[in-house]
Structure 1
Amino acid sequence: MHTSVLVIDDETELAEYTAKYFNMSGVDTQYVLNAQDALDFLRENTCSLVLLDINLGNDSGFELCREIRSSMDVPIFFISARSAEDDMLLGLSIGGDDYICKPFSLGVLLAKVKVALKRYESKSGLEEKAADDSIVHLGNALFDMKKAAIIRDGSSAGLKAMEYKLLMYMLKNKNRIIPKDEFFEKIWETDYVSDVTLNVHIRHLREKIEDNAGDPKVIKTIWGVGFMLEDNN
């Protein structure tokens, strides 16, 4: 069975209400209350997006994220009452696509989820449209658009859906400074995104593309404005 959204939250009332609200809004949603039930569900079913609480009773949402990421590339949104920046950075660095603090508006959450679902479900379509000669040089790395992967030093690193869309957008706008607000509008298609989320995804791209992510030559930071993909080829 395939469902659009899987909610993983040990707060029964919140999980149940979120699933009910999403289903009433036309987004097929199931929920589970602990890590083991989530893993059991995902062994037998598929989904297009995961809403994952960090505190799952005796279990950690961070550890569950790592386990899900080891076999699936679906978007994962952390939902948590923990609002410390360190928690946000950790969640995004281990594979989360977004981090949403409780309490949150279900209407805003639904809007973010719908955008992410549209993006995820169209990713394969973007790859299919890529031309046969879709290999792009990025410094000393290669970007294989058909395989959504970066090749550097003989190794290949796959891109997550958000990384792929970010890189494609920067390529279409190479050698132009792209303001942060433009990324939010064109990539996330919403204003409800933090600078932390954008910065972490840019960092992940740099780690795959740059010879030295701490001294980037391809994806450059324009302080106070945004980022630029520099291409001198």
Structure 2
Amino acid sequence: MKYDCLVIDDELDIAKTTAEYFDMFGIKTAYATEYEEGMKVFNENEVSLLILDINLKEHSGFKFCKSIREESDIPILFISARDSEGDILTGFNIGGDDYIVKPFTLNILLAKARTMLKRYQTYIRKEEPVVSPVPGHITIDYNYRQVSVVGEIVKLKNQEFRLLAYLVENCNRVISKEELFEKVWEDAYVSDVTLNVHIRRIREKIEQDPKNPRYIKTIWGVGYVFEVKV
């Protein structure tokens, strides 16, 4: 069966209520309350978005995310009462696309889910010019969603690719955080932490010295610029 969304939360009320609420707004949603049950639903059905709690009784949502990331690039949204910076960064670093701290309102969660689903569908369907060389040592292939650094392909997640592509397309122009939230995430509720983690991960993959970047420069208090020297 095909589902727009799968919610996995060990609190039955949250999982069931979220699924029912999403269904009312046309987002076909399945739910599970345990690790094994969630993995079974995911493996036996087609899912476009995963909403995942961190605490899954004796198992961890982090472990679930890492397992999914070995085979799929679908968007993953963490929901958790754990609000430490360490937990949030772990969520992003293992492949999560966003992170919401409980408690939250269902209308905010719905808005995020809609945005992530729209972005994912655009990602898998969009056709763009084949290759865009960046002066220096970076090449972007839009059809295959690949980035090469000195001829070697580096693996970027969906949102990392979108962010890098937008920065490159607007090279030598300072882009505010608000513009990146609007144009790349299409979501007004993205946090600075989310953006900063994605920038850091991109730098680690394309820069020779991520701590002293040649391309992606931080403009403190404003945003970022992809700098290409003419």
User: Which TM bucket (shorter chain)?
Assistant: over 0.9
Q: Which residue of structure 1 lines up, in the alignment, with residue 197 of structure 2?
A: 200
- What is the SS of the residue equivalent to 2:39? helix
Q: Which residue of structure 1 lines up, in the alignment, with residue 76 of structure 2?
A: 76
Shift, 1:137, TM fit: 2.5
Q: Deviations over 1:86-123 (max 9, x none)?
A: 11011011100000000001001100110110000011
Q: Which residue of structure 2 lines up, in the alignment, with residue 85 of structure 1?
A: 85
Shift, 1:124, TM fit: 2.3
Q: Which residue of structure 2 lines up, in the alignment, with residue 4 of structure 1?
A: 4
Q: Distance in 1 between matches of 2:68 and 2:150?
A: 28
Q: Which moved more, 1:138-147 or 1:24-33?
A: 138-147
TM-score, normalised with respect to structure 1: 0.94
Q: Deviations over 1:170-189 (max 9, x none)?
A: 12211000011111122222
Q: Which residue of structure 2 lines up, in the alignment, with residue 155 of structure 1?
A: 152
Q: How does 1:205-224 map to 2 (within 5 A)?
A: 205-224=202-221
Shift, 1:149, TM fit: 1.5
Instruction: Describe the shift of the 1:37–1:213 C-alpha distance in structure 2 as closer, same or farther (beyond 3 A).
Output: same
Q: Which residue of structure 2 lines up, in the alignment, with residue 108 of structure 1?
A: 108
Shift, 1:74, TM fit: 0.4
Q: How does 1:1-233 map to 2 (within 5 A)?
A: 1-126=1-126, 128=127, 130-132=128-130, 134-137=131-134, 139-232=136-229
Q: Deviations over 1:39-92 (max 9, x none)?
A: 212221121110000000000111111001010000100000001111101101
Q: Distance in 2 between matches of 1:108 and 1:87?
A: 21
Shift, 1:154, TM fit: 4.8
Shift, 1:8, TM fit: 0.7
Unpaired stretches in structure 1, ≥5 consecutive residues: none
Q: Deviations over 1:105-151 (max 9, x none)?
A: 1001100110110000011233x2x223x142364232222211222
Q: Name the % identity.
A: 48
Amino acid at match of 2:203: R
Q: Distance in 1 between matches of 2:132 and 2:164?
A: 13
The count of corresponding residues between Structure 1 and Structure 2 is 230
Q: Deviations over 1:8-35 (max 9, x none)?
A: 1110111000000000011111001111
TM-score, normalised with respect to structure 2: 0.95
- What is the SS of the residue equivalent to 1:150? strand
Unpaired stretches in structure 2, ≥5 consecutive residues: none
Shift, 1:223, TM fit: 1.1
